[in-house]
Amino acid sequence: MPLDIKADIKVLVVDDSAVVRKVFTEQLSKQRGITVVGTAPDPYVARDKIVKLKPDVITLDIEMPRMDGITFLKKLMKHFPLPVIIVSSLTAKGSKIALEAVSLGALEVISKPSAAYSVGDMSIQLGEKIRAVYGAKLMPLSTPKIENKPMAAIQSKALTATTNKIIAIGASTGGTEAIKKVLTRLPANSPGIVVVQHMPAQFTTSFAARLDELCQMNVLEAKNGDTVTNGRVLIAPGNYHMVFKRSGARYYVDIKKGPLVHYQRPAVDVLFRSVARYAGANALGIILTGMGKDGAVGMLDMKKAGAMNIAQDEKSCVVFGMPKEAINIGAVDYVQDINTIANKAISIIEKG
C-alpha cells in the first residue's frame, strides 16, 4: 500500500552489532522512501541521536550492553514515543521478551537471521514493516497491569448449541493487542476460532501461551491436523500458512509451507479463502488492524459464501490498511470499535 509522503522515512538503527548496523544502513537506504539517518550501538548513544536526528522509526535490538532494549523501550515510550520495530534473535526466551516489548508499545517484531552475513536477505521485509509503522497511531504507555487472570467475558448460554460455527480472525501491525482485546472478552463456550497474525516463528508460541493464560478459551499454537472445536483458539504458527478444512462434521487445520502471499506467511487470505470454501455461512470473519490488503479478498469470498464479517474501525486501529481494504471492496457487514467486536460477534452468532 503506497505511502503519500513528501520525504524519506528517517530510520535510526539501534543494535550492538557493527555488522548489522552496517548492513541495515546499506540495504535499507536502497529502498523506496527510506533513509537511515544514524545508528547506535546501545540505548545511551541512541538517546542522544534521537534528540539530534529526530527519526521517524527506530529498529531496536533487545539484548544490548549497558541497558537492555526493554528498559530503553519503557523510557522511550514514556518520554519520547516513536514507532519501534523489534529486530532480535527470537529464541524461545527472546520471543517472550519480544512479546513484552509489544505490550510496552513496540509495533512490529522481526527475527534476526542467525548468521550476520544473511541480514541483508531480510531487509525487504524490514523495509515493508518500516513503511507499515510510519505514521501509525501510538497508544500512550500507562502503568502495566498485572494480567494474572482472565478479564470478565461475555456470558452466553445460547452458544452451547453452536457446534458447527467458527470464527476466523486476521491481523497484522498492532494486532497482538487487538486480538487479546477480542479473545479475552469471549466466553469459554465460544465457537472454535482460527487466527492469523503476521509474526515470525517462535513468537507465535509465546503469543499463544500468553493468551491461554488470559482467556477463558483454550489457546494453542496450531499443529497440523488440529481440530477446530468449541472453546478452542488455534493461532497459525509463524512462517507457516494455516488452511481451514472439513472432513464430514469435523473441522480441522492444515499447517503448511508455500509461497508468500502479500509478502506474508502466514497470510490472512489463505485462511479466509479456505474458511469460505469449507465453512461458508457457518463462519464469522473478523479483520483487525494492519497495513496492506491481506485478508480483503478472502473476506469477500467468505461474504459471498454466506458468512458475516466484522472490521475494526479506523479510530481504534494502529494501522487502518487491512480493514479499510476489506470495507472498500464490500466484504464487511459491520465496522466496530475494538472494544465492541467481541460483543458484536456473539450477538451475530446467537442470532444464527
Alpha-carbon distance 223 to 141, whole Å?
Answer: 35
Domains of the chain: which residue ranges?
A: 9-133, 158-350
Alpha-carbon distance 70 to 74, whole Å?
Answer: 6
From the CA atom positions of the chain, what is the Rg in Å?
20
Q: Which residue has the cell 496450531?
A: 222
Q: Is 318 exposed, middle or buried (0-12, 13-18, 19+ CB in 10 A)?
A: buried
Highest mean pLDDT: which of 52-56, 147-151, 156-160, 262-266? 52-56
Alpha-carbon distance 241 to 23, whole Å?
Answer: 29
CATH architecture of structural domain 9-133: 3-Layer(aba) Sandwich (3.40)
Question: CATH topology of 9-133 equal to that of 158-350?
Answer: yes
Lowest average pLDDT, out of 40-49, 79-88, 119-128, 294-303, goes to 119-128
β-strand partners of 86? 60, 109
How much is the pLDDT for 115? 54
DSSP string, 9-24: EEEEEE-S-HHHHHHH
Q: Which residue type occupies 110? A: I
pLDDT at 86 over 80: yes
pLDDT at 254 over 90: yes
pLDDT at 145 over 70: no
Task: Give per-residue pLDDT as tens, 91-131.
Answer: 556 678 888 888 899 998 888 766 554 666 678 788 888 99
Task: Give per-residue pLDDT as tens, 192-215.
Answer: 999 999 988 888 998 999 999 999
**What value, to the nearest 5°, has the Cα angle with vertex 101 and ends 336 and 144?**
70
The pairing of strands 250-256 and 241-247 is: antiparallel
Question: Is the separation of the CB atoms in 302 and 283 below 8 Å?
Answer: yes
Alpha carbon 106 to its chain centroid, in Å, reads 11
How much is the pLDDT for 39? 97
CATH of domain 158-350: 3.40.50.180
Task: Give per-residue pLDDT as tens, 284-314.
Answer: 999 999 989 999 999 999 999 999 999 999 9
**Residue 66 corresponds to which cell in the numbers above?**
549497558
CB neighbours of residue 83 within 10 Å = 25
pLDDT at 142 over 80: no
What's the mean pLDDT when you consider all of the chain? 88
From the list 347, 287, 274, the residue with the least C-alpha distance to 313 is 287
What are the catalytic residues? Answer: 172, 198, 294
How much is the pLDDT for 181? 96
pTM above 0.85, yes or no: yes
